[in-house]
Amino acid sequence: MSRRGLDEDDVRIRPGRGKSRPRSKDRPSHDNAGQGFVVAVDRGRFTLVLGTPSDPGVEIYAVKARELGRKGVVVGDRVAVVGDLSGATDTLARVVRVEPRFTALRRSADDDDPIERVLVANADQLVLVTALANPEPRPRMIDRVLVAAYDSGLSPLLVLTKSDLESADWLLELYGALDVPHIVTRRDEAGDIDIEPLRAMLTGRVSVLLGHSGVGKSTLVNALVPNADRAIGRVNDVTGRGRHTSTSAVALQLPAGGWVIDTPGVRSFGLAHVDPQRVIKAFPDLEAGTEGCPRGCTHDEVECALDLWAAQGHAGSGGAARLESLRRLLRSRAGTEDAHAEGIAAANDTNTERG
């Protein structure tokens, strides 16, 4: 039969290659999903502990469900999980929902990068570990991490290691006005570290440990958590920098309760995402004084109302020192060199006195 003799009755419709039934937009609610929190992330696989950090259960492994799309999952996230929750060998569950985060420690690659990256979720304390020597402390880095802590709503704790090599006095004086809790550790003649003061500050809390490579972070974790087996590196004699030994964040349970989240060593901490107003909220004795500031005030200029507020004693007898410390943090957040110069000057003055 020629084509001219064909009509619509002679046309054969082939079925589509896809599913014949259109895909439903409805998604399961997963109301009966189990609850857990993420303790490790490794190339798309998640290690979870069912329950809550204060009441942990069995450890399981999971992958991210397709319905989550590109939503990130990080250590510390509270998640809803379905599938095999027995924790038996070769079983795999699915993370179907990430619960709202009440804190999130963020950083950007540098100060010009507007994209923020969440490092850890739902911690309530940020423990900044800094060595007093080998490698040398970097005050500007300390300032930046403190800004990130205040911005994220985390309580900061400063841990100064290797005080058997250098004194901690000058660094504690530099941050005295901020009232940041601190612990100073040292090795005794046997090479042991008294870990009990730090353990007392961590028990019952979810704490994230942050610091440069080589400052002794993994050493502290191994002392706090038996069988943690975190690799310990050495400091390069030429560069003064430590070698990265922790390659990914991991949450470890403390014997007396609470969790520590060990993170890889960092060498920079971008703060492009930080709003200065959120930092000031961590200084309630100064925040009230900003009501008289002009719109868009950076709190480091002539018209700033905080100078008069501190001079009139509204922030207490140490108000002027706290205001200067706050401004040092804000200058560090802005990427200026003032904070770095102050820290180096303080270190040089102290070293001159020692010499």
Question: pLDDT digit string (tens) for 283-301?
Answer: 888 988 999 899 888 888 8
**What pLDDT was estimated at residue 241?**
42
The angle subtended at Cα 51 by Cα 48 and Cα 52, nearest 5°, is 95
pLDDT score, position 266: 76
**Which residue in this structure is represented by tokens 């996230």?**
77
Domain 34-98 and domain 104-262 have a common topology: no
Say what the pLDDT of residue 318 is. 84
- pTM, to two decimals: 0.79
Per-residue confidence (pLDDT) for residue 270, from 0 to 100 = 81
pLDDT at 355: 37
Domain ranges of the chain: 34-98, 104-262, 276-354
CATH 3.40.50.300: does it fit domain 104-262? yes
* Beta strand 55-64 pairing with 45-52: antiparallel
* pLDDT score at 278: 82
Q: What is the pLDDT of residues 181-230, one digit of tens each?
A: 999 999 888 888 899 999 999 999 999 999 988 898 988 999 999 887 65
Q: How far apart are CA 243 and CA 267, in angstroms?
A: 11
pLDDT beneath 50, residues of the chain: 232-246, 337-355
For the record, the structure tokens of 3 come out as 């084509």
CA neighbor of 142 nearest in space, from 127, 122, 125: 127
Instruction: Please give the C-alpha separations between residue 81 and each of 49, 250, 285, in angstroms, as whole numbers.
Output: 11, 19, 43
Tokens 């030429």 label which residue?
238
Q: Give CATH for domain 34-98.
A: 2.40.50.140
Cβ 131 vs Cβ 161: under 8 Å:
yes
